[in-house]
Amino acid sequence: MKICKNIRSLKIELNKIQKNKCLSLIPTMGYLHLGHLSLIKKAKKRKEFTVVSIFINPKQFGPKEDLDKYPVDIKNDIEKLKKLKVELLFIPSRKEMFDYKTSAYKYKPLKIQNILCGRYRPNYFPGVADIIIRLFSIINPDKSYFGEKDYQQYIFIKKLLKKLGFKSKVISSKTIRENSGLAMSSRNQYLSIEEMKIANKLYKFLKLTKKDINDKKNISKSLIKYKNELLNAGFTKIDYLEVRTDDLRKANINSTNKRLFAAVFINKTRLIDNIKV
């Protein structure tokens, strides 16, 4: 596996790739777990030239969020990526990334930035757009892979890249979970043993909410009931528990392809998850 720490060396490596080979990018913030690795395995299985990036993007964190304590373990990440036979790892510095000129791409906020996580984390999608534009204008992959765990982010990036005219096909991949059902996340390691017991209940509550919606056919009543259940179970705050269509439009009981989205806190740790309804 080649490891490139700057854009110049990355471009030299990218220029060596055979012209007919599919170039795939899997952007990450590192501290890799089986969720990240599932995206990489998908690209590798399809025999694509697989580039993984690790970059903790400060612009997508709010001023009171966890940027300073976001977990890092590059050595371990490199071991995991080598085992999967990833062709190229890109680990740029902040200066390297933010000095790169992307003025050719004019980003205008998308409507879906105002809902779900965008409503509660106003810096998040502008920050994601900024780094995605940088990464994609540097690498210009044929395909890119994103996890359904961050479903709104996946839809956002897909729409953003299309609007800006990037060629990349944007592929989603299902959420990888712990045995308890808890969606894997680098942030889960913030949880104490007691907090983890609460976090482990989230997926079960999502499935109960889904069942209640399908039985009672009254979305808003089910959501009110399960917001209370979540709070009673020890979740300390709920940003949202909401049903939307799979393209993130407002949903009613007759909408097809519905998803249930949740963002909840256990003390300082914010967890997100979503399931099909």
Q: State the minimum distance, in angstroms, from the CB of residue 252 to ligand AMP.
A: 27
Verify binding: residue 38, ligand AMP, rule CB under 6 A.
yes
- DSSP H helices, the chain, are 7-15, 34-45, 74-83, 94-99, 116-120, 124-139, 151-164, 193-199, 202-216, 219-232
Of 4, 27, 32, 36, the active-site residue reads 36
C-beta separation of 116 from 151 below 8 A: no
Cα 108 to Cα 105, 111, 113, 127, 163, distances in angstroms: 10, 10, 11, 12, 9
**Which is closer to ligand AMP, CB of 178 or CB of 229?**
178
Residue 36 annotated in active site: yes
Name 90's bridge partners.
Answer: 4, 53
Cα 256 from chain centroid (whole Å): 24
Verify binding: residue 146, ligand AMP, rule CB under 6 A.
yes
Q: Using CA of residue 18, residue 24, residue 27, residue 30, what is the dihedral sign?
A: negative
Q: State the minimum distance, in angstroms, from the CB of residue 182 to ligand AMP.
A: 9
Verify binding: residue 35, ligand AMP, rule CB under 6 A.
yes
Among 17-25, 82-90, 177-185, 212-220, the segment contacting ligand AMP (CB under 6 A) = 177-185
Among 32-40, 208-216, 220-228, 242-250, the segment contacting ligand AMP (CB under 6 A) = 32-40
Count of residues engaged in binding ligand AMP, rule: CB under 6 A: 17
Among 29-37, 96-104, 106-114, 200-208, the segment contacting ligand AMP (CB under 6 A) = 29-37
Residues tagged active-site: 36
